[in-house]
């Protein structure tokens, strides 16, 4: 299960709206697991709008990817930002006003931060900005 979970994390590493994580319920994650009533291993919980939900689908990678895409992933579309947050819209406009070299420099800086340890909300915002910058870069090609 751990290998599959890691592959799922890799699959959504650049997602603007999905953060895949895990917690060791016998160590530092014990308090988190107790708060969300984790009773066995492996237990999969997912969060939508801050609400924890139990996952009971397939445990293979295709089933997990489908679940994330169908139930959790919301991508900000740079070309049609109706589903983007206000924060994303502001970042899009700022980056559209910047020249290509400035955007490339920002993209490089953010990519270097990807492996850093940070709170989930900051990691999510990092991924959102990366998604926007990558989308703008693709549009330039």
The string of pLDDT tens digits covering residues 96-116 is: 999 999 999 999 999 899 778
**Pick from 104, 97, 91: which is nearest to 132 by CA?**
91
Could you say which DSSP state residue 82 is in? G
Would you call 66 helix, strand, or coil by DSSP?
Answer: helix
Rounded to 10 deg, the angle between the 120-140 and 100-113 helix axes is: 150
- Please check the confidence at residue 16 and state whether its pLDDT lies above 70: no
pLDDT at position 94: 96
Whole-model pTM: value is 0.57
pLDDT at position 15: 64
C-beta separation of 52 from 44 below 8 A: no
The string of pLDDT tens digits covering residues 30-76 is: 899 899 889 888 899 988 767 888 899 999 999 999 998 888 877 78
Share of the chain above pLDDT 90, in %: 33
């Amino acid at each position: 299960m751990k290998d599959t979970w890691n592959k799922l994390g890799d699959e959504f590493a650049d997602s603007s709206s999905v953060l895949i994580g895990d917690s060791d319920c016998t160590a530092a994650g014990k308090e988190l697991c107790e708060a969300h009533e984790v009773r066995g291993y492996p237990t999969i919980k997912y969060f939508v709008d801050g609400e924890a939900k139990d996952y009971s689908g397939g445990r293979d990678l295709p089933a997990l990817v489908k679940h994330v895409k169908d139930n959790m992933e919301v991508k900000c579309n740079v070309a049609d930002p109706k589903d983007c947050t206000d924060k994303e819209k502001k970042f899009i406009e700022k980056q559209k006003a910047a020249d290509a070299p400035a955007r490339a420099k920002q993209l490089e800086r953010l990519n270097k931060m990807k492996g850093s340890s940070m709170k989930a909300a900051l990691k999510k915002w990092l991924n959102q900005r990366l998604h926007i910058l990558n989308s703008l870069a693709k549009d330039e090609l």
